[in-house]
Structure 1
């Protein structure tokens, strides 16, 4: 007989806290001891299965008392997804392309009204130096995308309150399978990728994903190039211990543009007419972004006994990026002459993520408990050099993109030279109890974080020596009830935090910015229909605002932002051949406290309404058997032009299409061969995204990709 547990489950639920940042598909076995007769205190071992982003447990999204959306491999493949922004286009509560379609070097989102640049890969943060260097995972290496909405600090530490995006890598499989895919497309795109997996022997499975891509950028004179390889290996060390070794290497010799355009000529009229969607305000002689990223990691899964397991996820990061770019300083009264400055950045980062997690799954009386206890840690050190100088102006309507010569740039005269180091560390201690009691699911958790950051060297011509040392507790509670008819109402409360660097005009360091969310909703899964509805309110406090008694650059912490909204999602198999996915978002986001004139205003990049739907037709019989047809539309409502809400950015509606065909339907000789056509923005609508009146970007132009794939 197993030892008795002399505890009260309800007290444990209130005391235990939340999860790790570990999210992989594990290899495990279902075990259950049915010999015990102690009905009140028996420990009953449960199976170890895939852990989702929202709970780090085996709960399905339909059983999780908080909103989560999963975009699976089939959806990614059918839509011909190339970037993370494209992957989440049909997800409620999230707005992408914040810097338009021509800027592809970073993954940036607005989730439930809050900007988020913290991407995750297999549950570990892709370490960002807050400048221009962050790993960017290519979608060729991704199996599925998980969007966890609302505050996630109880699981992941420092994080904006709107939510997060977690990319799940393609993992080794025991069944032998390989594929080669070649793609051609708009902007002279050329792309070849391979994906091979299988068993090397009884103890080792492997996977190798690799890609080479070249294309012209949307903006004139720009181009994009990428080389990527991601090998991984699963080793069965013993019946109780498995180890995954993984690497991700990516070289981006060129990644398009980053500069913006003024709102006059893009989102708004210009006396000289509208600019073309491939317009560019930079210079071909002074425009480069080169990035190298190496990620080395391992995932260790060890079964301690019939109750407890130990999971460790570790990743080392080494990355560097060099950039030459321009930015606009003003637009002349002729509305065509744009004054510019040229700058360069040279950045290098090294970092380490470690997540240690103990998990125990057992029964106490009639309640099932899934306990998570752990410690995670990351550190990042980044060296940054920055130079800035006056550059020649450009005529936007008769541009000369070959004016800037490096020898003519006087960096010394600007006084903006910088050479400094940033170091960040975060340590988190977390606990969580997930409880099942009949048809109830409860989650209660909390986490304590310590965050430290320093900045030393010369920044903008002056010595910098600043430090931040902040700690924070964050928690969440949630409950869901599963009715027999498939309806599952839920309610949850969650907190988040974001460390704030810098000081006020008196030299006092800022406090941590915090947020809290209440969320209630309904999930349904029955008769081929999976649907959810969630209503939420997020209140973010201690937001930096301008100090009314200081200079324009002095800040104080009195700001507050409130986000309220409703999100609807559904997936329905209308027939065996027809499937539809749809999403709707309504958001009311407002600055509720501020002393710089924007109280009552809405933040930028927040559409009040979004609506999308994707219809798939894949007949199993008849003349069209083997064909897959897809069509979708995306509506994004108007957004504010700037923080002062002086004007709006127009809404837009886009159409996407896809056609796939299995060539084996023509002849058995073509077994494993398929072709696909993917069209994004099929009607070539022109749309925009803006930060303010001086900084706007064009959305994606129409793109057409044709690919051929062979599976063997």
Structure 2
């Protein structure tokens, strides 16, 4: 039923008067208005078939072209004298078409060619539980990429609905069934509308709006400040790799981090753990804001099962994590339960006998939706391009959340992971790979390691959040992680003989166990001092890490790189070890986010840390202890000359313990990192943003050889890292996404007694860049068909600390083609499309690792 312009005008003017009980602008108060109100049809009075539609048009000149997606930029709930209004806000008075699907107590309306999207570009859902008596729940969500669904559930029956348009957008007026059946009194003309038991005119309604990221641009994160703060208000360079990029690329951890050029994972293909450098400095990752004392505790291998996104926090972050790298931190964020049922199943097959299956299940466990769950699980069985190598990996990651009260939530999550690896890659000599070898090139499939590794890791974590009031809240989180790491017969090259084909090796068996305890408590409060607003954070962190290492080293059997004979017995024992290390940490932090004006924000924070480490050697029956402390400040400022532009600057410091003693017996002080950073963040449009950063980091108190006492160290070393970072992420046009970055990094030794001053830091490169872009057809017979293209460039890298050789630069190309429709998705991903022969990394002249050749993976998934 299409409303003409005159009827629409009457409907709009009169319905507002009826709902609000006050005359609309431009109308006289009197009988004429009341008479008009009596003639307004309600949806309950209109006979509509199951898929009928009503077209509301504000002004024909603002009507979008057929098929265009209208952005609903906000949803508001307002109580009225008889019920509640739901306003779907649009930006230009665009057309909205309503399709009715009401049944039983549920009013259900679909709005095609529309999408819920904040002005920042983030897709969201809206929910209000029991906003008034007689209404159980109101939800507004994206049914699919181009349809918004409004659902209102009545307690006693189907709510009566009044529908009209306005300058704000489309308005639904809901009256509970019990109220709707009563005779409606004629509205007084000059008096306040009578009160009803259903709602008061100023009654607050509790609203729940949840971000549901559906794009390459992520506008918010809580990790950097431990508060929910938009990225544009944080004086720090931050890059977030969202779930959509990880899915489109079929990424594992190693390939995902190629999207962040300031991050280098120096671990080779099929290695069992990460070896990260950020802005040139070695870095240990974090998980949900918890420091990972040992990377394998929760991020076994390269799996991303249960991971929602990856956050790159550039620069020193000791204010958040205590002891940490001055270059930056890679934080992994896990998936959380969803309120609505969600079921996902996926299967992938690929080159080198790659087989993987994954499930992702979520939803409520009770009718009130106060208990939610999520279960992620995967199993992977794959071989690699290197000889005899094979990995199996099982991951189970459950999460359950409880709404304990109106202001209290508890989330419990865990992870169980196992990994079994046969002959993981430890690299090949530089002679025969990077450099010529008289015997020819060493095949990139060659494997020098004959050992096996088995890892079992478990983690359990809880997060308790409570709001004392609108302005004050408390959060408490605890995590326990346990890991058992067992290596059997690991062979590592120690020397290449003059014949350039015989590699001497060391043989090692080891057994390591880690237990990690972390407790984090935060109190956040908002208050004002005059016109200046404050968001104050007080936090306490406790940590305990216990690790035990037992190993036996032997002389390994030599191997011929061009005619290997495997299975030769090892030689005599060269060393043994049986140690235990216990580290206790305490950190106290205070932070104030100050809003001086709407466009001027200041971040002030400081943290004090103290640690004690006790080492026991059971073979020598000795025990040593060392303690230390450090203060880490951070100061940042953000100025926004216009809303889309944020200019920022920060000063921050970090520390890392330096365990050991000098020749005179004195304990080493922690190494210190100091950074100065300036940058600009810009929203190019509602869904596309960019960040440009300039930084200068100095790491001091670095251990170096004591020139006067051989075998001892002193803390006179220093390293400096300077660079530029540029990143762009988001949607250029509907269906066309981009995720691109460039990093220039000059990391050099500035003071040292053994490494020449001026040398580049090991494994760093001056230039690195990435570009990943996808396009998905938005309409027509080919709607849902998409294409992806990726370019990843890594410049020359230093191959050893002495800078005696370089690992050559490379450029690889990835491609993807995918199709999705109604929850079904099929994809074909190609990595190293042109089969470029390149080197991933080098640890030294005996450990250079080839990159993977042309690889294809096909994936089929169902979401319902």
CA–CA distance in 1 between the matches of 2:473 and 2:447? 54
1:151-209 C-alpha deviation (Å, 9 max, x unpaired): 00011100010000111101001010101101101110111110000011122010000
Partner secondary structure for residue 320 of structure 2: helix
CA–CA distance in 1 between the matches of 2:428 and 2:664? 37
CA–CA distance in 2 between the matches of 1:534 and 1:192? 40
1:10-25 matches, within 5 Å, as none
What is the total number of aligned residue pairs between the two structures? 648
Asked if the contact 1:282–1:401 (Cα under 8 Å) also holds between the matched residues in 2, the reply is no
Name 1:120's counterpart in structure 2.
286
Name 1:144's counterpart in structure 2.
309
Asked if the contact 1:111–1:163 (Cα under 8 Å) also holds between the matched residues in 2, the reply is yes
Name 1:9's counterpart in structure 2.
none
CA–CA distance in 2 between the matches of 1:256 and 1:149? 34
Name 1:379's counterpart in structure 2.
544
Name 1:59's counterpart in structure 2.
229
Name 1:394's counterpart in structure 2.
559
211, 215, 227: which is aligned to 2:382? 215
Partner secondary structure for residue 225 of structure 2: coil
472, 475, 487: which is aligned to 1:323? 487
Asked whether 1:87 is paired with 2:256, we answer: yes
420, 423, 435: which is aligned to 2:579? 420
1:584-615 C-alpha deviation (Å, 9 max, x unpaired): 11111111111114211111111101121112
Shift of 1:513: 0.4
Shift of 1:492: 0.5
CA–CA distance in 2 between the matches of 1:29 and 1:364? 33
Partner secondary structure for residue 379 of structure 1: strand
Shift of 1:87: 1.6
| Greater RCO, CA 8 A, separation 6+ | 1
456, 461, 465: which is aligned to 1:301? 465
Partner secondary structure for residue 392 of structure 1: coil
Asked if the contact 1:99–1:696 (Cα under 8 Å) also holds between the matched residues in 2, the reply is no
Asked whether 1:701 is paired with 2:853, we answer: yes
Name 1:576's counterpart in structure 2.
734
Partner secondary structure for residue 88 of structure 1: helix
Asked if the contact 2:386–2:425 (Cα under 8 Å) also holds between the matched residues in 1, the reply is no
Higher-Rg structure is 2
Distance 1:52-1:267 versus aligned 2 partners, 3 A rule: farther
CA–CA distance in 2 between the matches of 1:51 and 1:577? 24
1:422-445 C-alpha deviation (Å, 9 max, x unpaired): 111211000100112221121010
Name 2:110's counterpart in structure 1.
none
427, 435, 439: which is aligned to 1:272? 439
Name 2:832's counterpart in structure 1.
681
Question: Please, which moves more after superposition, 524-533 or 70-79?
Answer: 524-533
Name 1:355's counterpart in structure 2.
520
Instruction: Structure 1: give runs of 5+ residues left out of the alignment.
Output: 1-24, 31-45, 665-670
CA–CA distance in 1 between the matches of 2:423 and 2:287? 23
Distance 1:447-1:189 versus aligned 2 partners, 3 A rule: same
Asked whether 1:172 is paired with 2:337, we answer: yes
Name 1:690's counterpart in structure 2.
842
Shift of 1:47: 10
Asked whether 1:482 is paired with 2:640, we answer: yes
Distance 1:53-1:193 versus aligned 2 partners, 3 A rule: same
Asked if the contact 2:425–2:447 (Cα under 8 Å) also holds between the matched residues in 1, the reply is no
- Give the TM-score of the pair, scaled to structure 1: 0.88
CA–CA distance in 1 between the matches of 2:666 and 2:538? 35
452, 461, 478: which is aligned to 2:612? 452
294, 300, 312: which is aligned to 2:476? 312
Partner secondary structure for residue 425 of structure 1: strand
Asked if the contact 2:268–2:425 (Cα under 8 Å) also holds between the matched residues in 1, the reply is no
CA–CA distance in 2 between the matches of 1:107 and 1:99? 6
Asked if the contact 1:277–1:686 (Cα under 8 Å) also holds between the matched residues in 2, the reply is no
Asked if the contact 2:557–2:571 (Cα under 8 Å) also holds between the matched residues in 1, the reply is no
Partner secondary structure for residue 417 of structure 1: strand
Partner secondary structure for residue 86 of structure 1: helix
Name 1:36's counterpart in structure 2.
none
Question: Please, which moves more after superposition, 438-447 or 687-696?
Answer: 687-696
Partner secondary structure for residue 480 of structure 1: strand
Asked if the contact 2:269–2:425 (Cα under 8 Å) also holds between the matched residues in 1, the reply is no
Distance 1:622-1:273 versus aligned 2 partners, 3 A rule: farther
Name 1:186's counterpart in structure 2.
351
1:250-279 C-alpha deviation (Å, 9 max, x unpaired): 111336515232111122221112222221
Name 1:12's counterpart in structure 2.
none
568, 572, 594: which is aligned to 1:410? 572
CA–CA distance in 1 between the matches of 2:679 and 2:771? 21
Shift of 1:48: 11
Shift of 1:647: 1.8
Shift of 1:71: 0.9
Distance 1:588-1:123 versus aligned 2 partners, 3 A rule: same
Asked if the contact 2:297–2:458 (Cα under 8 Å) also holds between the matched residues in 1, the reply is no
Instruction: Structure 2: give runs of 5+ residues left out of the alignment.
Output: 1-123, 130-207, 212-219
Shift of 1:99: 2.7
Name 1:443's counterpart in structure 2.
603
Name 2:395's counterpart in structure 1.
228
1:628-657 C-alpha deviation (Å, 9 max, x unpaired): 211010111101121111121111101111
CA–CA distance in 2 between the matches of 1:591 and 1:398? 40
Distance 1:520-1:482 versus aligned 2 partners, 3 A rule: same
CA–CA distance in 2 between the matches of 1:398 and 1:545? 41
CA–CA distance in 2 between the matches of 1:28 and 1:564? 47
1:626-641 matches, within 5 Å, as 626-641=784-799
CA–CA distance in 1 between the matches of 2:559 and 2:298? 30
Name 2:698's counterpart in structure 1.
539
Name 1:7's counterpart in structure 2.
none
Distance 1:619-1:699 versus aligned 2 partners, 3 A rule: same
CA–CA distance in 2 between the matches of 1:371 and 1:28? 29
Name 2:509's counterpart in structure 1.
344
Superposition RMSD in Å: 2.2
CA–CA distance in 2 between the matches of 1:363 and 1:256? 61
1:519-552 C-alpha deviation (Å, 9 max, x unpaired): 001110032431111000000000011111222x
Asked if the contact 1:29–1:48 (Cα under 8 Å) also holds between the matched residues in 2, the reply is no
Distance 1:462-1:262 versus aligned 2 partners, 3 A rule: farther
Partner secondary structure for residue 494 of structure 2: strand
